[in-house]
């Protein structure tokens, strides 16, 4: 009679780990003694980050150069983890992007790609490793946004995708708690990373108060996950912004967000 299969070594799986918040999550998890698996398309960047983490005295992370939007990505990742003899204790769904501009004017395929990565891939990876998350009493950390709480004319698909992330994460937080699995949505404001360049944004002075450094977001998100917190909003100004929908008319918010996004788009379009 064969015994139960041995428990595999636990890891923290981090998507979008090649830069920005994802790279900082990798550093934070490694600093707290977790074995880390870095997932993104840019293999060279991942190896550079793995080298930096190893040079700081932490175990060198595993690198998985994967296109997250390919079909069956969770099965591909699971097979690679199985070959390494590891399984997820934590899943950090950080990969995502947005585009600035009116929905009717942006390329439909690019907007559907936002939904593919921000919604479908995040959902797939959140659900793919429930068994191992439960075995290791781990959790899921999903990166939402202040946009999760607001209407988003000017970035309509991105804001809608982040509203999904918040709602889905809160529901999983409730559903999985009985299995000892923690689920946290971390919802930062404007972050000075490659995201802004890809979205077609330029820095605007009026948004400076909502800026939070990637390292601070990663530290706050990690702490919130370990404490079993449902939602973490880094920064006092960001907390205030997410409170506004409770007290202001929806139409007023729509007009203000539209005006703000239009100004950002005009700034990004100017030479």
pTM tops 0.95: no
Helix, strand, coil percentages for the chain (3-state, nearest 5): 55, 15, 30
Output DSSP code: residue 11.
E
Domain extent listing, the chain: 9-269
Tokens standing for 12? 């923290």
The tens digit of pLDDT for each residue in 69-107 reads 999 999 999 999 999 999 999 999 999 999 999 999 999
- For the chain, list residues with pLDDT below 70: 1-6, 191-211, 262-271
CB atoms within 10 A of CB 67: 9
| List 90, 158, 159, 222, catalytic entry | 158
The single-letter DSSP state of residue 175 is H
CA count, 13 A, side-chain hemisphere, 185: 24
Look at residue 255 in the predicted model and tell me its pLDDT.
Answer: 86
* 222 carries an active-site annotation: no
pLDDT for residue 241: 86
Instruction: Please report the pLDDT score of residue 200 as a whole number.
Output: 45
User: Domain 9-269 falls in which CATH fold?
Assistant: Rossmann fold (3.40.50)
């Amino acid at each position: 009679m064969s015994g139960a299969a041995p428990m595999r070594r636990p890891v923290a799986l981090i998507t979008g780990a090649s830069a920005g918040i994802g790279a900082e999550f990798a550093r934070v998890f490694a600093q707290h003694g977790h074995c880390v698996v870095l997932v993104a398309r840019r293999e060279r960047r991942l190896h550079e980050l793995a080298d930096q983490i190893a040079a700081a005295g932490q175990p060198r992370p595993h690198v998985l150069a994967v296109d997250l939007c390919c079909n069956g990505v969770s099965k591909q990742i699971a097979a690679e983890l199985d070959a390494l003899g590891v399984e997820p204790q934590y899943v950090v769904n950080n990969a995502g992007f947005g585009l600035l501009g009116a929905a009717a004017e942006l390329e439909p395929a690019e907007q559907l790609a936002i939904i593919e990565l921000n919604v479908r891939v995040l959902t797939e990876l959140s659900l793919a490793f429930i068994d191992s998350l439960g075995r290791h009493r781990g959790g899921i950390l999903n990166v939402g946004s202040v946009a999760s709480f607001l209407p988003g004319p000017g970035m309509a698909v991105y804001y809608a995708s982040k509203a999904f992330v918040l709602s889905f994460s809160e529901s999983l937080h409730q559903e999985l708690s009985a299995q000892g699995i923690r689920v946290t949505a971390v919802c930062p404001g404007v972050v000075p990373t490659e995201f802004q360049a890809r979205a077609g944004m330029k820095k605007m002075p009026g948004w400076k108060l909502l800026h939070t450094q990637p390292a601070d977001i990663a530290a706050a998100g990690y702490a919130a996950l370990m404490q079993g917190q449902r939602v973490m909003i880094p920064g006092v100004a960001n907390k205030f912004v997410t409170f506004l929908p409770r007290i202001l008319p929806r139409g007023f918010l729509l007009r203000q967000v539209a005006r703000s996004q239009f100004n950002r788009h005009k700034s990004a379009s100017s030479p």
